[in-house]
Structure 1
Amino acid sequence: MVAAVPALLLGGLFALDSCGAGKADELSSAQVDGVWKGSGGGRVEFDDDGRFEMSGIPRNAIEFGFIDPPPGNGRLSGRGEWSLVGDDDRSSTIELRFDAAGSFSDDSESTLLQVEEAGDRPKLYFDTDADEGYGYEVRREAASTPAGH
């Protein structure tokens, strides 16, 4: 029984460390701001004022929060508001709330983007299956540097 106590403590510390490991896959608002591009011309631009605009995102790449997603199987465009989910400082989930414009006939739709990778080349994906954790991926475009620098 005494030998089991250190094993349980070690297991508990490992579990706590594993929970902290997820923090590496979170982004701050400043890290989200900018242009993100995916395959086939998909593009999402996040502004620091909490607005976004997207274009060329495959229709089947988005799982919508409500019951009337835009029809068809083509590519979507739209704009609206974005926010980090859960924590105002850092999160592994970004919510997009669409305005009535582009592919969206009203402002009742929303969807989620998940952080797949943080770091120097962060990657997001549209969450199409909560059980599987995959979807259409977009990568942050590298910040351009002024000519001559």
Structure 2
Amino acid sequence: MVSRLRSLLWTKAVLISSLVALLTSGCVTHPHAKRSDSIGLWENSVGGRMEFRDDGRFIATSIPLDPRCTEEDDPLQHKQGSGAGTWKLEGFPDEGPGAHIILDVKNDSAGYCDIWTVFTGAKPLSEMQLLYQHDDPGRFRRSTATSR
């Protein structure tokens, strides 16, 4: 009876460990991010730019917008948008630290856009991912260029 109980407990422990490993594989977030880690210019592979300023202002140029922030009928189409707004360091629930951006959009969208990012990347704090855009245009890397 005791050995059967041990066997069941061991099996349960292995299953729980496997589940945790599966759920967290491929997810590299950085829980010790500070506000200063966001400040500066970030660029994606197709010319999009996000600038986080120390005073809480934010400037975006040609970044993919969440379909809920545009008048686009196709929810899979990500329009590019530009504009200015504000930001703060704040993690989206269950995603880890990143930036919460309120963007006043210049194009034909709904007027403002609530954007969430999360820090990712192999090097700590080297990439920022838009939570609604899980391909390359949604991945921004810290830029060495100076802001405009």
TM-score normalised per structure 1: 0.61
Structure 2 unaligned blocks of 5 or more? 73-77
Residues matched between the structures, number: 132
CA distance in structure 2 between the partners assigned to 1:63 and 1:74 by the alignment: 8
In the other structure, the counterpart of 2:75 is: none
**Matching residue's letter, 1:138:** F
Structure 1 unaligned blocks of 5 or more? 145-149
- Aligned with 1:77 (options 65, 79, 82): 82
CA distance in structure 1 between the partners assigned to 2:118 and 2:68 by the alignment: 14
- Aligned with 1:39 (options 23, 30, 45): 45
Secondary structure, aligned partner of 1:25: coil
Q: Residues 1-149 of structure 1: matches in 2 within 5 Å?
A: 1-2=4-5, 3-13=7-17, 15=19, 24-26=28-30, 28=33, 29-57=35-63, 61-66=64-69, 68=71, 75-83=80-88, 84-86=90-92, 91-99=96-104, 102-103=106-107, 107-117=111-121, 119-120=123-124, 122-128=126-132, 133-134=134-135, 136=137, 137-142=139-144
Distance 1:31 1:118, change over 3 A: farther
Aligned-residue identity in percent: 19
Tell me how large the CA RMSD over aligned residues is: 3.7
Distance 1:128 1:106, change over 3 A: closer
TM-score normalised per structure 2: 0.62
